[in-house]
Amino acid sequence: MRIAVIGAGVMGSGIAQVLAQTGHDVVCTDVDAAALDKARANVTTGRYGVDRAVERGKLSRADADATLARLRFGTDLAAAVADVALVIECVPERLDLKVKVFRELDRLAPADCVLASNSSGFPLAALAAATDRPSRVLVWHWASPPVVMKFAEIVVLPSTDEDAIARVRELAAACGKHPVVVKDQPMAWGYVANRIYAAMLVEAGRVVAEGVASHEEVNRLMVDCFGWPVGPFAMVKGAQTGFGDA
């Protein structure tokens, strides 16, 4: 499958890498050339990049080279989406920006192309309504870091095409993820995972504000009690800036 990823930040570059490793031809585009340079480095030599995967025995050198050969970067949006079957939008989490991008994608991408957003919680209904193909728009919400996390929250409307849902669900499974299809709830931010996470984070903030425990202590307790990879405050930082090279 030919796929375009729009946005080359922490999530976009990681998603592009996963798709390329799975065998798909991927173009990752961004308006910022510097962001593309950083994305190339993340995919190659970053903590979860292919070179590190080779060092750890998770990927052969031949497969790493093949992944990089299937992955292209560029600033030309029209060229990136001209002949793709799927677009995954990963621009910053601003509804006005996402709506603008979806209008452009609807104009530029092939008529049968599925348009997916990696939004963390904006209503699918608002994104779909920005296009003339609302039934072929959905949310494919990934977790950070995309190369590691099995999470695949697929958000749909009653009117979403079954073909579009199946295309994304099958692709997510092929990428080693665990796809779960959920319903859009326009009046609530966060779909399922982030609605529950946000409620937990509010309570964690109260614990710190009341002087019961520090941020670091809350993180430590939740990791040790529930087996989380990181605590709630560390997860917020990691989702925004990545999880570092340590």
Q: What is the mean pLDDT of residues 55-80?
A: 97
Report the pLDDT value the prediction gives residue 246, as an integer from 0 to 100: 38
Rounded CA-CA distance 46/232 in Å is 23
* pLDDT tens per residue, range 20-52: 999 999 999 999 999 999 999 999 999 999 999
Domains, in order of start, for the chain = 2-183 (3.40.50.720), 193-241 (no CATH)
Neighbours of 96 (CB within 10 A): 7
Q: What is the pTM of this model?
A: 0.92
What share of the chain has pLDDT > 90, as a percent? 92
Q: Tell me the Cα Rg of the chain.
A: 18
Mean pLDDT computed over 68-88: 98
Per-residue confidence at 245, pLDDT binned at 50, 70, 90? very low
CA gap 28, 228 in Å, rounded: 31
Is the pLDDT score of 77 beyond 70?
yes
pLDDT in tens, 87-141: 999 999 999 999 999 999 999 999 999 999 999 999 999 999 999 999 999 999 9
Query: d(Cα 178, Cα 172) in Å, to the nearest integer?
Result: 7
Supply the pLDDT for residue 237: 74
Report, as an integer, the average pLDDT of 170-189. 96
